[in-house]
Amino acid sequence: MSWLKQSIVRGGLESLYFSGAHVALRPFVGGVGAILALRHVRPPRPDRFQPNRALEVTPQFFTGLVQRLRRSRLDLISLDEMHRRMVEGDFKRRFVCLTFDDGYRDLREWAFPVLKEEGVPFAIYVPTSFPDRLGELWWLVLEAVIARNNRVGLIIGGRDRAFDCGTVAEKQALYDELYWWLRGRATEHEMRGIVRSLATYYHVDVRALCNELCMSWPELAELASEPLVTIGAHTVSHPVLSRLSHDAARSEMELSRSIVEAALAVRPAHLSYPYGDRSAAGNREFAIAAEIGFKTAVTARPGVLFARHKRSLTSLPRISLHGDYQQMRYALVLLSGAAAMLWKGFRQANAA
């Protein structure tokens, strides 16, 4: 996310917090419940260049959030229970589901003990290539290449290009540019090929990254045996599904469910689309997920759940907890009934 966009989001949250008046937050306010999206929970690192900082929250923040939610009037429920309430229209109480994408090891180390202690159900969406140790966490490969070098060369459009990245500002700018350039490649195959050659040329061990950061099957099995844990599907290779053919996209979703079932003896009923933004998953993917029988599937499109989402259970919005604005009050604004009240007040004042 660009600095400007971050500032607008941050400004929007601040203004809602203090005045209750920000149109941009309309999709967050009210609703019958919410699904929270998290990836990493781990202590902050000192590095100044951290382009993926937004994907993590600190254990301290996470613990505070879980404790606040536990003491709130919101029900903390599993995805199966969320599905039941949506289908049956059981909205007597507002609810929250906690979900984690990618199955990182820090979830087991930092988040799980807190969730177990507080008795909070949660879901882990697993891309099966990660515990299979074949995962290409290409966004981290790109980060490592730029972090460790002052100049990065790349062939773009058949021409050799070189980028200076000696300063933190240059590294940040180059990361943003290359991340979105790679996401924009016509095929997944092309993008992976470029990242693989970067990794080879700049000596980044792709396999070691996956080994270090992602849970193994035995570690996942241990968590899967806990009654609080739901294991969800997150494809096999974590591709941008919209870039694949219909059949390939379908097989990524179906195959990942079978692989999880074979490895953990639980058949995932819930799916998360990799990346989950508008350019990564759309109507075609939502239809496939429904067709092959997932009960629910989540995106990264921001918002809370309304009763009408009963009709679109394979394109559910989530609220991402971003490391960039992890202050507790932001999360509380996003979830709170107070926000709904403030918003209603603002609308009524406007209509008057």
Instruction: Considering the complex, state which of residue 29 and residue 107 has its C-beta at the smaller distance from Zn ion.
Output: 107
The window from 50-58, 76-84, 93-101, 132-140 that contacts Zn ion (CB under 5 A) reads: 93-101
Instruction: Considering the complex, state which of residue 156 and residue 248 has its C-beta at the smaller distance from Zn ion.
Output: 248
Q: Residues 321, 36: contact at Cβ < 8 Å?
A: yes
CA distance 331 to 325: 9
The window from 30-38, 96-104, 147-155, 332-340 that contacts Zn ion (CB under 5 A) reads: 96-104
Q: Which of 20, 38, 76, 101 touches Zn ion by CB under 5 A?
A: 101
Tokens representing residue 24 in the block: 């941009």
**By three-state DSSP, how is residue 158 classified?**
coil
Contact between 252 and Zn ion by CB under 5 A: the answer reads: no
Q: How far is the CB of 23 from Zn ion (least distance, A)?
A: 30
Residues 258-277 touching Zn ion, rule: CB under 5 A, are: 274
The window from 45-53, 101-109, 185-193, 283-291 that contacts Zn ion (CB under 5 A) reads: 101-109
Q: How far is the CB of 299 from Zn ion (least distance, A)?
A: 12
Instruction: Considering the complex, state which of residue 20 and residue 268 has its C-beta at the smaller distance from Zn ion.
Output: 268
Which position has the token pair 């074979």?
262
Q: Which of 40, 74, 102, 331 touches Zn ion by CB under 5 A?
A: 102
What are the distances in angstroms from CA 197 to CA 137, 156, 163, 291? 14, 13, 16, 37
Instruction: Considering the complex, state which of residue 101 and residue 188 has its C-beta at the smaller distance from Zn ion.
Output: 101
DSSP alpha helix (H) spans, 184-315: 188-201, 206-213, 217-224, 246-264, 283-291
Q: How far is the CB of 276 from Zn ion (least distance, A)?
A: 8
Instruction: Considering the complex, state which of residue 31 and residue 274 has its C-beta at the smaller distance from Zn ion.
Output: 274
Instruction: Considering the complex, state which of residue 16 and residue 281 has its C-beta at the smaller distance from Zn ion.
Output: 281
Q: How far is the CB of 104 from Zn ion (least distance, A)?
A: 10
Instruction: Considering the complex, state which of residue 130 and residue 286 has its C-beta at the smaller distance from Zn ion.
Output: 130
Tokens representing residue 114 in the block: 């807190």
Q: How far is the CB of 214 from Zn ion (least distance, A)?
A: 11
How many chain residues are in contact with Zn ion, going by CB under 5 A?
3
Exposure pattern of 57-69 as b/e (b: 16+ CB <10 Å)? bbbebbbebbeeb
**Phi, psi at 270, each rounded to 5°:** -130, 150
Give the CA angle between residues 319, 229, 278 to the nearest 5°.
30
Exposure pattern of 156-166 as b/e (b: 16+ CB <10 Å)? eeeeeeebebe
Q: Residues 314, 293: contact at Cβ < 8 Å?
A: no
Residues 267-326 touching Zn ion, rule: CB under 5 A, are: 274
DSSP one-letter code for 108: I
Binding site for Zn ion (CB under 5 A): 101-102, 274
